[in-house]
Chain A
Amino acid sequence: MTGIVDADSVTKRYGEVLGLNGFTASFPAGITGLVGPNGAGKSTLFRLLAGQLRADAGSLTLLGFPAWGQGEFRRRVGYCPEHASLFDWMTGFDFVSTLLRVDGFSRSEAHERAARAIETVGLTAARDRRMKAYSKGMRQRIKLAQCIAHDPQLILLDEPLNGVDPVGRAQLSALMRQLSATGHHLIVSSHVLYEVERLTEQIVMIAHGQAIAQGDLHRIRDLIDSRPHMVDLETPDPRGLARLLGAWDHIVSIEFTGPEKLRVLTRSPEAFYAALPALVVTERLNVRSVHSADDNLDSVFRYLAGGGR
């Protein structure tokens, strides 16, 4: 693997809990979205990349360097953690300029860069306010400012849009695209596929600490769309409805989930939804509700994590 970030069978345990479980993926140049539900292992991977955790097994490199360690290569990396307490007693400007000095910039250079980075994230008006007075969105912005202020080659953004208002989301997304266009490599994590779709077509999907899909978003979308689709129906005569539905060739299985409920698994949701109204009318069925049980992202992850079964 020769990506910007390469992970080979990386495992990280927290006692009995597995944070990452043999995670293997290669993150190419440009923007890559790391998508997964909460608790999938995204933040664990970021902390490993940021040198805050040591992998129990496997190999993890960024920019060709082992992730565990505080070598000089870290000046080429910017990290925006999801949960990190800021130095609340400092102003936003002091915060960014102090961290720039830890990066090795002189005081004047640190001040100049801090001012520019804060302007970049749209916080200039609040730069001299103490950060304890910042809103969640402002805190996200100031974290992003400290992350990009030293002009790093690789930028790690852990849920950067979390807590940011819709206008701010659009602005920060545009900023990420601009950063990519100017030669920076970004890894952006999110539990919302839609957010990442707007940024990049390169994604790594993670669930249960493992990379369950990687590559072009459209291919993964096709995979998701071709999976059996689950539909819950409510009717006073579930057995009668099941008998009729069972004749359709795209139905994979029918399960009775209650006295008046059944769950149908279909390979072709489009055909199912197109044919169901006609069936209801011609057979004079009383179908009280139709509910797609797996439209949410969690179900997609469950499906992919289950090996496409």
Chain B
Amino acid sequence: MSIAAPRYGATSAVRLGRGHRTLAIVGRELRRRAGLGTWLVVALTYLAVTLIITINTEFASLIGQLSLSTFETPYASPAWPFLMLIVATSVGAGSLAEDVGNRSITLYLSRPIRRIDYLAAKTAATGSWIVIAAVGPGLAGLAIVLALGWAPASLVLTGAGAFVAVGLLASIFFTGLALALSSLTTRSLYAGVGIFGVVLSLEIGAPIVSGLTGNTTVAYASPITDILSVAQSAFGISGPYATDPLTSAVILAFAGVFLAIFAGWRISRVEVVGE
């Protein structure tokens, strides 16, 4: 075996722009997260949500009470937030933490890629997986209902719009949360525990604090309560809601964006210290 120095005739080869380079990382990251665990939890989410939608729709049709609010039931189920937490953990906890922890981030940072592009790629990849789990199952359930002829097309279309709106809002929040916590540690396990810990402690703690202090605005601190209020409003359920849906929507979107910016700030300062 002999080896020879490369003789590239293309030192002046056309280099594509930042968008292309960022997409290369997105592609790599999407494939990275496409492991058996991710597929299992996503499949479980699809199964749970489609079953809830189809069974409820069939039941509501039988008793003659089919309406847009029939499709809201996945959000009222405790299974949905739990599954979303697992999805956010499996696709987002290691997103930044693994790269820094095992120093593979060095392979990116030594290339002509800006840290903001790196984070944008990570956000896009993590967000894509979360959108697949947050929006897709509702649409799949409605598609089944439509195919079986259990609900009129106009109602299904309205429901699809509501699923997209609520799912995207939830995706923004969970993506930002996963990235922020992943940027704080070099171990995905810690970030994963953090995702569960933050959301569940707010879900449990907010009503307790609200009850003790008599301050109902504390309820806004719970992202699951916020998502439920927005979902109830989007699917036409009349109040009263635990929180004002519009305010909750703004809080979720702002929190998601703020957390992503925080992750960006962390990444802009990260230094890869060796062994």
How many B residues face the partner with a CB closer than 8 A?
Answer: 41
> Is there a chain A Cβ closer than 8 Å to B247's Cβ?
no
B2 contacts partner chain A, Cβ-Cβ < 8 Å: yes
Tell whether, in the assembled complex, residue B16 and residue A52 are in contact, meaning their CB atoms are under 8 Å apart.
no
Chain B residue at smallest Cβ distance from A141: B3
Contact with A along B237-275 (1 / 0, CB 8 A): 000000000000000000000000000000000011111
Among A79, A98, A181, point to the contact of B28 (Cβ < 8 A).
A98
Q: How many A-B residue pairs have CB under 8 A?
A: 127
Q: Does B187 contact A (CB under 8 A)?
A: no
Choose, from B18-26, B160-168, B170-178, B203-211, the stretch at the interface.
B18-26
Partner of A102 from B7, B8, B111, B115 at Cβ < 8 Å: B111
A116 in contact (CB, < 8 A): yes
A47 within 8 A of B: yes
What residues of A have a CB within 8 angstroms of the CB of B271 in the complex?
52-54
Q: A229 at the A/B interface (Cβ < 8 Å)?
A: no
Pick from A53, A75, A83, A182: contact of B111, CB below 8 A. Answer: A75
Given contacts A47-B274, A120-B3, A171-B3, contact A99 B111 (CB under 8 A): yes
Q: Are the CB atoms of B28 and A104 closer together than 8 Å?
A: no
Which segment, of B65-73, B99-107, B132-140, B145-153, faces chain A? B99-107
Which residues of A sit under 8 angstroms from B17, Cβ to Cβ? 104
Interface size class, chain A: 35 or more
Q: Do the beta carbons of A106 and B5 come within 8 Å of each other?
A: no
A236-B103 Cα distance, complex, nearest whole Å: 55
Q: Is there a chain A Cβ closer than 8 Å to B112's Cβ?
A: yes
Q: Are B1 and A122 in contact (CB under 8 A)?
A: yes
A70-116 contacts to B, CB under 8 A, are 70-75, 77, 79, 81-87, 89, 98-99, 101-106, 109, 113, 116
- Sampled A-B contacts (26; CB under 8 Å): A47-B106, A47-B272, A50-B106, A52-B105, A52-B110, A52-B271, A70-B113, A72-B112, A74-B110, A75-B111, A84-B104, A85-B102, A85-B103, A87-B32, A102-B24, A102-B108, A104-B16, A104-B20, A106-B20, A109-B10, A120-B3, A151-B10, A175-B5, A179-B5, A181-B5, A182-B7
Interface residues of B (CB under 8 A from A): 1-8, 10-11, 13-17, 20-21, 24-25, 27-28, 32, 102-115, 271-275
